[in-house]
Amino acid sequence: MLDYAKATGLRTDDNPARWRGHLSNALPARGKVAPVQHHAALPWQEMGPFMAALQSQPGMGARALAFAILTAARSGEVLGARWSEIDMDAALWTVPPTRMKAKREHRVPLTSAALATLVDVARLRLTDAPDAYVFPGTSPGKGLSNMTMSAVLRRMKRGKLTVHGFRSCFKDWAAELTAYPGELSEAALAHVVGDKVEAAYRRGDLFDKRRDMMAAWATFCSRPYARPMGTLVTLRAG
């Protein structure tokens, strides 16, 4: 507000609340006095049993949560999804820039499991309007509440988890159990990688490679994790 007042001629003095070159010399950095709080996430090793339990949950909120996990999408992107963004034949979900955090179009490859979820909710469609919500709420013309998926977690006795934390779970799985490069999982999460110069030269979205990775993620989510056995060594007496 003070910066705006100066820019519009309502005041002439410098902003006394300016951080860079002013308060930064007198106060500690915010990260030192307020540690970063990460979203509570399910350990990636537990994804198989969790997804099996989720599939048994009734309701649109459970289907939306499963879709969010399988696509590694943000909750807002899922809750705001319209049928016009979905191409079932091409197994593709195209999120427009207006609904993305980075304001860039995001193409999401849909696995067979994600498509099966869409088939389930499509049976409940009350209108063929292309702009209808994929995951409609109880009020006509409205999507699900942003608390609906959290309510599913509480119903499953998993209330300490966060919906956003499943994106971290996906990232941890990709980093710790697969050989997929980090830039691939970052692209799946719709994160902006690199500076503006690198972004200007990186025109592709690694879509075909991401399709393979998301298929591997869906397969991993469909079964219990079997920890690799160590190498057996035969000991000989004498």
Residues labelled catalytic: 74, 101, 164, 167, 191, 201
Q: List the structure tokens of 80.
A: 């705001």
Helix axes 60-71, 165-177, angle to 10 degrees: 40
12 vs 18, 24, 58, CA distance in Å? 14, 22, 61
- 98 sits in the region (left: phi over 0; alpha: psi -120 to 50; else beta) called alpha
The residues pairing with 238 across neighbouring beta strands, listed in sequence order, are none
Size (the chain), residues: 238
Question: CA-to-CA distance for 102 and 95, rounded, in angstroms?
Answer: 11
